[in-house]
Amino acid sequence: MALVFIMAAVLWGIGAFMGTPRRMRWTMIGFLWIGVVVIQLTLPATAQLRLATGESAAPWLLLGGFAALIVTYRALLSRLRVQADGTTFDPAPSTLQGPFSDTELDRYARHIVLREVGGSGQRKLKDARVLVIGAGGLGAPALLYLAAAGVGTIGVIDDDAVDNSNLQRQVIHTDDRIGMPKVFSAESAMRAQNPFVTVRPYNRRLTADMAHDLFADYDLILDGTDDSATRYLVNHTAVTLGKPLISGALSQWEGQIALFDPARGGPCYQCVFPEAPAPGLAPSCAEAGVIGPLPGVIGSMMALEAIKLITGAGQDLRGRMLIHDALYAEHRTIRLHPRDACPICAASRPTGDFTDDQPAA
């Protein structure tokens, strides 16, 4: 039996190294289990392959039954959690299966003719699962453009409701939705924009007790929050699961965006910002103000970086931060490096320094 467990560990390690989604890694291990059971049930008792994989099918069947119970329990727990949040449980959509419809091909034609995207890239977008933290200034344009681009499954988590003061910049919400939870307002706009995508709204605040399970169901995380504690929680969870994190921030006339991906050699958020700013040093938009179109610029850039990362097009922002000064119409890019003493990502970071062929501007 030890041989099978070693093979499972090797499969998991290779998948983690290559950035394979967690769900796919479990699928590979499931196929390994099926193969072992078939060997135990079909080969003679004296066969060397059967002896090397445990001599009997009984323990493997028991293990499979135990795993099935765990999966069933987690699925029921997820359903109950979603129902407790006041949302509708939305299973994997039928629109993600099979070829593109004629309507979809026409809708995404401008993507498909791009050499860097093409049909294969659009398929990757359709199969992708992206979670957006926050449905406010940055989340609003990011969510709209992810939906418009055809990202198959988009999750959005926020516990706030639409307020009149949001409408100066949060373009996904409308005046008649004031008082509605932001995630449901965003869901309505995204479904109206593109009925071929699945939107999963989570009307609650992101907390440590549920972040791991939530993030595990997605391939990519976008953080558009303005709360330091949430940012550090998002970063820690993304690093733990090996998920790439696109983070945006803004204040007054300036915005910034970076891709944090230590699983593939880049730094994490806490490498760059080791400690949260002292109270008063990082005022919120309500305190400092923000020019209305700026969240649209940075949020759209976040969606663009997500699309590039999913399709493999161009050069991503891994290891770099792009800063946009709207007041003086200037862009600048700074190089970011992993921090050897980072308590979050140093232990899990692959060996070797991050390198970037493109010089910082």
Q: 3-state DSSP helix/strand/coil percent for the chain, to nearest 5?
A: 50, 15, 35
When pLDDT is averaged across residues 115-131 and rounded to a whole number, the result is 95
3-state secondary structure of 151: coil
Find the Cα–Cα–Cα–Cα dihedral 321, 322, 325, 326, rounded to 10°: -140
Instruction: Kindly state the tokens that stand for 275.
Output: 């400690």
Alpha carbons 332 and 233: distance in angstroms, whole number: 28
Q: What is the pLDDT of residues 213-240, one digit of tens each?
A: 999 999 999 999 988 899 999 999 999 9
Residue 51 has pLDDT above 80, yes or no: no
Confidence at 81, pLDDT banded by 50, 70, 90:
low
Residue type at 169 in one-letter notation? R
Percent residues over pLDDT 90 in the chain: 60
Q: Note the Cα 85 to chain centre separation in Å.
A: 20
- Domains of the chain, start order: 2-82 (no CATH), 96-335 (3.40.50.720)
> 10 Å Cβ neighbour count for 37?
17
Distances (CA, A) of 174 to 164, 167, 195, 308, 339: 9, 7, 19, 29, 43
Over residues 125-156, the pLDDT tens digits come to 999 999 999 999 999 999 999 999 999 999 99
Q: What is the pLDDT of residues 92-101, one digit of tens each?
A: 333 334 578 9
d(CA 198, CA 191): 8
Q: Note the pLDDT of residue 323.
A: 96
pLDDT digits (tens, 9 = 90+) for 278-294: 766 666 667 778 999 99
Average pLDDT over residues 19-37: 73
**Distance (Å, whole) CA 246 – CA 309:** 10
Query: Of 267, 268, 243, 265, nearest to 351 (Cα)?
Result: 265
